[in-house]
Structure 1
């Protein structure tokens, strides 16, 4: 048995006292007096019913129409409903959804939302994370379901109608989602643009809706590597994707059948199922015209990202959350993007200017197969044939 001296006992007692004191929180209230006013003075209680009487203001506040909000609530309500306890009433689903949509729409930090909705900061954070998870779980099966062969054909028709690029089933690109530096992450999330981020990789259709997304890769990773490692990208590069069977390009029925393809920028690897521009500035006119025609289709993914960010302005600021929460926020915003576009159609967000990137400065990926190069050259020939050329394309490349 070990006996301690009086001095040792005093020291040990002091250490235990300080340890206990450090663990003690500074919480003075079970519920802060300010938050007790929420049932009467919270932003949701004050504005929700009033906004429902003014459809334009409601749409500006929630980024969707009243009918879309009601449908959305009906689909997630059963997952957002919590039980009341003896100590307090639960936050109703309508309010949980309102807090989350307002956060996505503005990017306002949790502290500011605390003063608006009169909820604790930790409660705000928890509500937003939980609701984003529910939004993805409940909407993804219908709003971002994996396309069937028939769906791919419909998408291809849309791209040809709008961009005159045949056999195109989607445009693919990546977007960096700004993120505060995660703890103990080193440089994994530090990207070539010199800020911390995770990557949203997406494929879109001709209506600017996302058909496939991959979220959460480190910011330092290239779009090409992320795409190659994603489940969808592996199917594309191994030619095991359920794209429609090859067919002749429009008007070229006597020619060689061509595959259905995705279009991407210079950062992606050329393959049978993915076409990218020719690199460099010293290109002949035929290749420059091909680049122009491809850019008209590829521009859709850039505009899709622009519409997403302009509607859900949380992406205009740095996400002050952990990477797993940032992934949930991004996935929820993407599936909401599709949900709202299909119900409310175009809006002012769609009028943003989507500039085409200068591909000459992109970092290219080499070693494409001869088959992939032959396919691209066939498209070059097709676009420069007077029968299939756009009347203005030669003027644009001058």
Structure 2
């Protein structure tokens, strides 16, 4: 195997430092791929339960296994793309559709949808059908604390996605009862992990803060590698306290901004 990949991975020796040998690079890669904590998407009921427990302990939201969102990555204008890659802000881009765990790491990433695509349509082409058809290993429905009604294990998203059995979202910001506001706050707070993850990706890998001058197919590979690299960085360089959100430990007065309107508050 080393002989087959040596021509692609061998680096020149310089006065700055000695490069790692191809053998060592292969060992590190195989060790990572064989690791049980390599940030792969869970496949069994027990793995999903572990993800849900972390969300419960860290974000006080139950039966929750991932936060779904998308990010538009600016690209150069394509020769034959027309308006296909232009989003509502009128700049060319491709979409990263991602599901993130409670530790700000990507569990599932789909890269390459055209910027003009609708979020719900993009998600329907990902693992949406596998989730709804119970082919991803989700656990059976379970009850919430102090309740006896089984609630499905689910992912949460923002308003743009269609409500499904396994996909919950905030109530409409136009009209909310008191208990709906409480629920929307909890959902908004918990799904902040995916917003923080995309912000961290942009902050730590500065290429995602600019318009990348590459064709969409090349950019797909760059973006996928960037997401993998982002999962590895926190293991060695943890997030600073101000870089990410934290659990509401006071549990008294909640604040939430609904639909970009005035900030509202209420007591739990």
| Same-fold status (TM-score > 0.5) | yes
TM-aligned CA deviation for residue 139 of structure 1: 6.2
Larger strand share, 1 or 2? 2
**Take 1:137 and 1:325, find their aligned partners in 2: how far apart are those partners?**
25
Aligned to 2:212: 319
TM-aligned CA deviation for residue 140 of structure 1: 6.8
Kindly provide the CA deviation profile for residues 301-350 of structure 1, in whole angstroms up to 9, marking residues without a partner as x.
00011111111111010110111110000000101111222x215134x6
Correspondences of 1:333-372 after superposition (within 5 Å): 333-341=226-234, 343-348=235-240, 351-352=242-243
Aligned to 2:261: none
Give 4+ residue runs of structure 1 displaced > 6 Å after superposition: 77-80, 135-141
Matched, 1:183 2:183: no
- Any gaps of 5 or more consecutive residues in structure 2? 15-27, 257-263
Aligned to 1:219: 115
Kindly provide the CA deviation profile for residues 247-292 of structure 1, in whole angstroms up to 9, marking residues without a partner as x.
111232xx11111010100011111101001113321111111100
- Any gaps of 5 or more consecutive residues in structure 1? 1-76, 85-89, 95-134, 355-388
Kindly provide the CA deviation profile for residues 132-179 of structure 1, in whole angstroms up to 9, marking residues without a partner as x.
xxx999967753423132221111111111111100001000000110
**Take 1:187 and 1:228, find their aligned partners in 2: how far apart are those partners?**
22
Aligned to 1:237: 132
Matched, 1:250 2:121: no
Give 2:6's match in structure 1, choosing from 52, 56, 81: 81
**Take 2:106 and 2:119, find their aligned partners in 1: how far apart are those partners?**
17
Instruction: Give the superposed CA RMSD.
Output: 3.1
Q: 1:325 to 1:159 in 2, by over 3 A?
A: same
TM-aligned CA deviation for residue 297 of structure 1: 0.8
Q: Any conservation in 2 of the 1:200–1:213 contact (CA below 8 Å)?
A: yes
Q: 1:169 to 1:291 in 2, by over 3 A?
A: same
TM-aligned CA deviation for residue 83 of structure 1: 7.3
**Take 1:224 and 1:316, find their aligned partners in 2: how far apart are those partners?**
25
TM-aligned CA deviation for residue 394 of structure 1: 8.1
TM-aligned CA deviation for residue 241 of structure 1: 2.9
User: What TM-score do you get using the length of structure 2 for normalisation?
Assistant: 0.79
Kindly provide the CA deviation profile for residues 219-248 of structure 1, in whole angstroms up to 9, marking residues without a partner as x.
001221111111x12212334331111111
Kindly provide the CA deviation profile for residues 28-53 of structure 1, in whole angstroms up to 9, marking residues without a partner as x.
xxxxxxxxxxxxxxxxxxxxxxxxxx
**Take 1:224 and 1:295, find their aligned partners in 2: how far apart are those partners?**
19
SS of 1:176 mapped into structure 2: strand
User: What TM-score do you get using the length of structure 1 for normalisation?
Assistant: 0.55
**Take 2:106 and 2:161, find their aligned partners in 1: how far apart are those partners?**
19
SS of 1:351 mapped into structure 2: coil
Q: 1:145 to 1:394 in 2, by over 3 A?
A: closer
Aligned to 1:207: 103
Report the number of matched residues.
Answer: 239
SS of 2:55 mapped into structure 1: helix
**Take 2:82 and 2:7, find their aligned partners in 1: how far apart are those partners?**
39
Correspondences of 1:245-394 after superposition (within 5 Å): 245-252=140-147, 255-341=148-234, 343-348=235-240, 351-352=242-243, 390-393=251-254
TM-aligned CA deviation for residue 192 of structure 1: 0.8
